[in-house]
Amino acid sequence: MKQKFAFVFFFVLFVVAVAFSRQKPKLIVLVSIDQMIPEYFERYDKQLSGGLKRFSAEGIVFTNTTLNYASSETGPGHATISTGSYPATSGILANEWYDPKTLKRVNCAEDSTAKPVDGEGGGFSPKNLVVTALGDWLKAESPVSKVVSVSAKDRAAILMGGKRPNHAFWYDRKSGRMVTSSYYAKAIPEWARKFNEANWVEKNLPGSWWKLKPAGDYEMDGPDELKGEMIWGMSSSFPHQFAIERRNDQILTSPWGDMLVLDFARAAIDAEKLGQRALTDILFIGLSCTDYVGHSFGPNSHEIHDHLLRLDQALGTFISDVEKIAGSGNVLFVLSSDHGVMPLPEHVTNVAKGYARRLLVDSVTVPKVTGLERQLQKELNTSEWLISRNGFLNYEVARKGKFSHRRFEEKVREGLLSIDGIADVFFKRELTGKKTRPRQYLGHFQRSYYAPRGEDFQLLFCENCLPTTRPTGTSHGSAYKYDNHIPLIFMGWGLKPARVTRETHSVDIAPTLARILDVPYPKTVDGSPLSEVRR
């Protein structure tokens, strides 16, 4: 009798354990901090105490996560996070590209058929995304589940939200309001209208951006005033005054832009009852201001330091609020990023005493490419264009001049590689062919290349070289580690803290969440579920 009782007892425990292990979170909050790099967590660890600190201390931290592709930009980054597909699969190969037929510029989220809603927004939708995303997979299995995506950037909100979210909102820098397009709704929901009518920017943006901590806390960053940083007013150092007539725009290059988005996300949670029903909802939040601040001042500046301290506090409050609403054990938080960033060249050379430089594309690189084109025109005895600065080649004219495709490309390659700053050239046949001779970063470019929208050739600039048209600021967009290395952390929902050092990629995020939600995903997915993320 005792043996039978023991068997029943342990069988019940087993059933309960299995049921618990299959329990799904009521709410997934995926936070993408634009241009966030893992080094920030280590560099500012002792000064963090809010949301960033919680992610680092309480989450499953994947320390070796990379994009694993070359086009490290906002559009491809957010599409990859939500779809689990590389740009070569999702069709979002860059923030912008040139149509191979018309040679006209195309924005990754543009849609002329998406009209303004209540007189605002419009012009954008996920039309250019050729695959489905996590939110679509969830709603196919659970139509009543809600998917909401918000960001300061239109392409971030749109490409994370997928094909059919309930809502996608982004910030309009002209009006200072959160807007959408007719692709998503015929009228703006009442809660969003009330948020906009409350005039967040006017009520919450201070007169200036000053340092949150004592000056000594920023000494690790080097000087506050540094050549290469954006001039705000009369200098690049603190404090930074907000001009009343420009504050709707200037807020984005400050911590307050992200605070606005977090407050809007709170309003969405309250009004849409996200995480408060007997099913799973997903909230995507794109925090874009780290990118704007990083572009302007660099990732080692006093500005990025202070921005992250303030974001840490705001994110901490937001996480606590969400846990109170939905229950701490019911929410799975995910933190990642769309790309990294190259250090400000002037900081590398003047402060870190390393090597980096600016490549002035318009004044140096383009004239040399023009010189190469003229040389080839002379060889082919033609005045027609041969090399477009948009990455296209005139193979037809070359053929008429008795140059085969291969010979033409060899001539172009040889000429381009003779130009200072260009490290390699990848042609379309190399990016789409399976028998291409292996070489460094070829795979990164292949995973970025969507042939129907791709150029005839793509360039790899030298490492620690910043191709730019400006004397200040920095950027991203390369295959190098500083642009490719991103954070990836899963926290909450009963997960135990851990450090995972094996190589992982941003394409793994969506299939991992799909497995947790027990929803199937399409064969187009390039990533794999991360086995370490288990309750």
Nearest to 29 by CA among 322, 378, 341, 457: 322
Contacts of residue 6, defined as CB under 8 A and 6 or more positions apart, other chains included, come to none
Cα–Cα distance between 525 and 522 in angstroms, integer?
6
- The helix/strand/coil state of 5 is helix
Q: Which amino acid is at 223?
A: P
Instruction: To the nearest 10°, report the CA torsion of 161, 167, 172, 177.
Output: -150
HSE at residue 518, side-chain half, CA atoms within 13 A, is: 8
Cα–Cα distance between 426 and 457 in angstroms, integer?
5
Angle at the Cα of 205 from the Cα atoms of 203 and 293, rounded to 5 degrees: 155
Q: How many residues does the chain have?
A: 535
Task: Quickly list DSSP for 130-143.
Answer: -S--HHHHHHHH-T
164 alpha carbon, distance to own chain's centre: 20
Residue with tokens 């580690």: 481
Contact indicator for 250, 293 with CB cutoff of 8 Å: no
DSSP bridge partners of 461 = 422
Which DSSP symbol is given to 198?
T
Nearest to 326 by CA among 148, 456, 493: 493
DSSP bridge partners of 357 = 465
Give 213-218 contacts, CB < 8 A, sequence gap 24+.
213/47, 213/306, 213/309, 217/47, 218/302, 218/305, 218/306
Q: Which of 63, 65, 66, 74 is catalytic?
A: 74
HSE at residue 377, side-chain half, CA atoms within 13 A, is: 12
290 catalytic residue (yes or no): no
Cα–Cα distance between 60 and 500 in angstroms, integer?
7
Cα–Cα distance between 160 and 78 in angstroms, integer?
6
Angle at the Cα of 108 from the Cα atoms of 190 and 174, rounded to 5 degrees: 45
Cα–Cα distance between 475 and 257 in angstroms, integer?
20
Q: Which residues are catalytic?
A: 74
